[in-house]
A and B are shown apart, each in its own frame.
Chain A
C-alpha cells in the first residue's frame, strides 16, 4: 500500500476552517401544499403556522485538521447544523464561514438515477460532488475498484442490490478529495469488510490533515474518530468538549432514563428486585474500572422447588453481551427454595471500560422454560480516568526495552 499524502494541507493549525457564528434556524411546520388546503386553512394558518427553532445561537470555530462529532438525540438539530454548514439550508440568523472545498456525504446516492448505468452515475455523481470530468476519468478505476462491483458497472443501478448501490455511492464520495468533509450517518453501510474499508478511509482523511464534521448515533465511532464533540439538545449547544466529556454528558442525560422492561416466564419463581451494590451491600450505580461490584437478586417461590438456577447478563449500550453466567455454570447448587431468598453475584474487580451497562436477570429450572426473566432491568455506569477504547479494561503497563 503506497500511502502518500494526497495533498499536505498547509493551513496553520490555529486557523479556523469553519466558523459558525450565532446561527439560528427556524422551521415552519405547515403541511398545506395545495391551493385548496391553503384556502381551507387560510384563517387558521396564521395562528396555526407553528414555528420551532431547529437551531438556536450556535457558535463555534473548528480548526483545520480536527474532527468534530455532533451528537444529540433525534430532532436535536445535528443534521440541520450540518446542512447549514454545507450551505443547503440558509440560517435565519447568523452565518457560517469556511475555507476550501467541501464535500458532503449527507446521503449516499442522492444523485443516483436508477435508469442510468453505474458508470454514468459515477460521472454524474462525481460532478455533483464537484469533480471535473477529467478528474473523474483519472479516479474512475480506483472508484470502481473501491466499490468492488466491476462486473456490474455497466448495469442500470436500479438492478443493484441496496448494498451495491451504497458501496458505489460511497466510493465516489470519498474520492472527491475535499478540504472539509461532512458526514451524516453514512458509515453504517455495506457489509463488515466494506465498513472497515470506509473507516480506514476516514482515518486516512484525518491523517491527511483534513477537517471532518460528522453526525452519528454510534457513540463508539465518536470515541474512535473525533477529537472534539458538540452535544446538541433542542437546537441548543449543551456541551463543547472532548469526546470523553461529551459522551459522559450524553449518557448522563439520556441513557439512565427508565429502561423499557420486558418480562417473560412461567412465574413459578419470581424475581422481586435487582440491585447493584458496591459489594458491601450499599446501593451504587457509578463505578471506576477495577472496583468491586455485586449484583443482588431477590427471588420468591410461589411453590417450593429444588430445581432452580439464577442467571445474570451484563450488556453494554449497544446490547452487546459483555458477560453472562448462572449458578449452574458456576457449579453452585442453590438448594431448596421456599419463600424469599437473595442471590448475590460478587465481582471483586470490574474489568470494564467507561460506558453505560445494563443487567438482564433470570431464574429458570435446570432445563425447560424459564420461571422469570427481566431484560435490561437495572443499569450502572463506569467512569474511567483514561480514554481507553474497546470493551475490557486491561490496565496494561508499558516497558521500553532494547530491541532483540
Chain B
C-alpha cells in the first residue's frame, strides 16, 4: 500500500501554529461580501481553470467534427443571414462587405448567448457537485464564461482569415474599441448569468424564458440589419425619440456597433457607420455593468445557501 510520505507544500505552516477556529459559511454583510467572494474565487483559480477545461473538452466530445463545430456554427449562421437578408432582402447591395459586417456582429452575439445560455443551466447541470462538495458556487457560471471566451478567441481567427482573404484589414485607430466592448460584454453577461443561474434553481422555467428572450434580444440588436433603419423608422418617421434612445441604451447594441466600427473597414464613410461617441458610451456602460455585477453577485450569494436543498 502506498502511503503519503510528505505533506503538500501548502501546509508547512500548519505545524508552526495552531490555526484559529473559523466559522463555516460566516454571514457576510450585504455591502462587504463581494470582496470576500472575489478573494475566495481567486484562491480557487486553479479549480476554475480545471472547470473551464472540462467545459471545453466535454462540449463536443464524441462528435466527429469535435471542436470544429465551434467554428462551423457561426459560419452556418453567416451563410443563412447572408442569403436571407443580404441577397433576398437586398441588404448586401447597400452595405459593403456584408459578410464581414454580419460576422463581426455575430461574433459578439455568439459570445453573449454562450455566456447567458450556459450560465443559466450551470448550477442545475452540476447539481451532483453542488450537493456534495463545497467550493464557491460562482465558479460554475464563471467556468462557462471562461469557456465561452476561449470559443470566442477561436471564432475570431475566422474573422482574421476573412480579413486576409479580402485584404480589408481594420484601421488601428478604432481597434481599442474591441477590448473595451468585450469587457462590457463579459461583465454584463456575467452579471446577468449569475442572476439567471440562481433563478433557474428555484424556477426551472427560467431556462426556457432565456431561450425566447435571447431570440427577441437578437432582433433588438443591429446585427443582421443596420442601425440607420431603426433611427429612420423610430426617431425620424414616427418621432419616437425616447424609444430610439432606449434602443441605443441596450448594452449589446453598443457592443455590436463598437465591433462594427473597429472591425468592419468597408463601412467607413458610409451612413451605416455609427458616428456617436462609442468610447464614452461604453465607458458609462462598463461602470453600470460593474455595479450590476456587484448586485448580481449579492443576489447570487443570498440564493446560494439553499442551492443544495433546492436541487
In the bound assembly, the distance between CA atoms of A273 and B248 in angstroms comes to: 89
- Chain B binder among A81-89, A258-266, A364-372: A81-89
Tell me if B1 and A90 are in contact (CB < 8 A).
Answer: no
Q: Is A34 at the interface (CB under 8 A from chain B)?
A: yes
Contact with A along B1-43 (1 / 0, CB 8 A): 1111111111100110011111111100000000000000000
Q: Is A100 at the interface (CB under 8 A from chain B)?
A: yes
Tell me if A27 and B309 are in contact (CB < 8 A).
Answer: yes
Q: Is A127 at the interface (CB under 8 A from chain B)?
A: yes
Tell me if B24 and A33 are in contact (CB < 8 A).
Answer: no
With known contacts A127-B47, A135-B8, A9–B14 Cβ distance under 8 A:
yes
Q: Is B299 at the interface (CB under 8 A from chain A)?
A: no
Q: Who on chain A is nearest to B203 by CB?
A: A35
Q: How far is the CB of A247 from chain B (nearest CB, A)?
A: 28
Known: A95-B24, A204-B3. 7 other contacts (CB 8 A): A1-B1, A19-B21, A90-B306, A98-B24, A116-B57, A116-B61, A146-B1
Q: Is B238 at the interface (CB under 8 A from chain A)?
A: no
Q: Is B266 at the interface (CB under 8 A from chain A)?
A: no
Tell me if B3 and A11 are in contact (CB < 8 A).
Answer: no
Q: How far is the CB of A371 from chain B (nearest CB, A)?
A: 52
Q: Is B292 at the interface (CB under 8 A from chain A)?
A: no
Q: Is A4 at the interface (CB under 8 A from chain B)?
A: yes
Residues of A within 8 A of B132 (CB): 88, 104, 106-107, 110-111
Q: Is B149 at the interface (CB under 8 A from chain A)?
A: no
Interface pairs A-B: 10 shortest CB-CB: A7-B7, A110-B132, A90-B305, A6-B4, A87-B134, A35-B205, A97-B21, A142-B2, A96-B24, A115-B61
Q: Is B69 at the interface (CB under 8 A from chain A)?
A: no
State the A residues within 8 Å of B (CB): 1-4, 6-12, 15-16, 19, 27, 33-36, 38, 83-90, 95-101, 104, 106-107, 110-111, 113, 115-116, 120, 123-124, 127-129, 131-135, 138-139, 142, 145-146, 175, 177, 179, 197, 200-201, 204
With known contacts A104-B132, A142-B2, A146-B2, A87–B25 Cβ distance under 8 A:
yes
Tell me if B133 and A110 are in contact (CB < 8 A).
Answer: yes
Choose among B14, B20, B58 the residue that contacts A116 (Cβ–Cβ < 8 A).
B58
Give the contact-size bracket for chain B: 35 or more
In the bound assembly, the distance between CA atoms of A113 and B58 in angstroms comes to: 8
12 contacting pairs across A/B (C-beta < 8 A): A35-B205, A95-B24, A95-B25, A99-B18, A110-B131, A110-B133, A120-B54, A135-B8, A139-B4, A142-B2, A142-B4, A201-B1
Choose among B1, B4, B23, B58 the residue that contacts A96 (Cβ–Cβ < 8 A).
B23
Q: Is B46 at the interface (CB under 8 A from chain A)?
A: yes
With known contacts A87-B134, A90-B305, A15–B18 Cβ distance under 8 A:
yes
Q: Who on chain A is nearest to B7 by CB?
A: A7
In the bound assembly, the distance between CA atoms of A346 and B154 in angstroms comes to: 83
Q: How far is the CB of B127 from chain A (nearest CB, A)?
A: 10
Tell me if A4 and B8 are in contact (CB < 8 A).
Answer: no
Choose among A8, A11, A19, A33 the residue that contacts B204 (Cβ–Cβ < 8 A).
A33
In the bound assembly, the distance between CA atoms of A2 and B4 in angstroms comes to: 9
Residues of B within 8 A of A84 (CB): 24
Tell me if B23 and A97 are in contact (CB < 8 A).
Answer: yes
Tell me if A177 and B8 are in contact (CB < 8 A).
Answer: yes
Q: How far is the CB of B282 from chain A (nearest CB, A)?
A: 35
Tell me if A128 and B129 are in contact (CB < 8 A).
Answer: yes
Residues of B within 8 A of A146 (CB): 1-2
Contact with A along B119-160 (1 / 0, CB 8 A): 000000000111111110000000000000000000000000
Residues of B within 8 A of A19 (CB): 21
Tell me if B309 and A1 are in contact (CB < 8 A).
Answer: no
Residues of B within 8 A of A4 (CB): 3, 5
Residues of A within 8 A of B15 (CB): 7-8, 10
Residues of B within 8 A of A89 (CB): 305, 308-309
With known contacts A6-B7, A146-B2, A90–B14 Cβ distance under 8 A:
no
Tell me if B133 and A132 are in contact (CB < 8 A).
Answer: no
Tell me if A128 and B22 are in contact (CB < 8 A).
Answer: no
Interface residues of B in 193-224 (CB under 8 A from A): 203-205
Q: Is B233 at the interface (CB under 8 A from chain A)?
A: no
In the bound assembly, the distance between CA atoms of A12 and B54 in angstroms comes to: 41
Residues of A within 8 A of B129 (CB): 110-111, 128
Q: Is B94 at the interface (CB under 8 A from chain A)?
A: no
In the bound assembly, the distance between CA atoms of A180 and B133 in angstroms comes to: 14
With known contacts A6-B7, A86-B134, A88-B132, A98–B46 Cβ distance under 8 A:
no
Q: How far is the CB of B136 from chain A (nearest CB, A)?
A: 11
Choose among A86, A99, A131, A197 the residue that contacts B8 (Cβ–Cβ < 8 A).
A131
In the bound assembly, the distance between CA atoms of A179 and B14 in angstroms comes to: 10
Q: Who on chain B is nearest to A120 by CB?
A: B57
Residues of A within 8 A of B47 (CB): 127-128
Tell me if A177 and B7 are in contact (CB < 8 A).
Answer: yes
In the bound assembly, the distance between CA atoms of A331 and B306 in angstroms comes to: 67
In the bound assembly, the distance between CA atoms of A113 and B54 in angstroms comes to: 8
Residues of B within 8 A of A201 (CB): 1
Q: Who on chain A is nearest to B128 by CB?
A: A110
With known contacts A87-B25, A98-B21, A128-B47, A34–B133 Cβ distance under 8 A:
no
In the bound assembly, the distance between CA atoms of A104 and B6 in angstroms comes to: 21
Residues of B within 8 A of A177 (CB): 4, 7-8, 11
Interface centre among B1, B62, B204 (most CB of A within 10 A): B1
Choose among B26, B62, B134 the residue that contacts A88 (Cβ–Cβ < 8 A).
B134
Q: Is B50 at the interface (CB under 8 A from chain A)?
A: yes
Residues of B within 8 A of A98 (CB): 21-22, 24
Tell me if A106 and B62 are in contact (CB < 8 A).
Answer: no
In the bound assembly, the distance between CA atoms of A2 and B10 in angstroms comes to: 23
Contact with A along B269-301 (1 / 0, CB 8 A): 000000000000000000000000000000000
Tell me if B2 and A95 are in contact (CB < 8 A).
Answer: no
In the bound assembly, the distance between CA atoms of A88 and B26 in angstroms comes to: 13
Tell me if B46 and A127 are in contact (CB < 8 A).
Answer: yes
Choose among B5, B204, B305 the residue that contacts A6 (Cβ–Cβ < 8 A).
B5
Residues of B within 8 A of A120 (CB): 54, 57
Tell me if A90 and B133 are in contact (CB < 8 A).
Answer: no
Interface residues of B in 92-140 (CB under 8 A from A): 128-135
Q: Who on chain B is nearest to A200 by CB?
A: B1
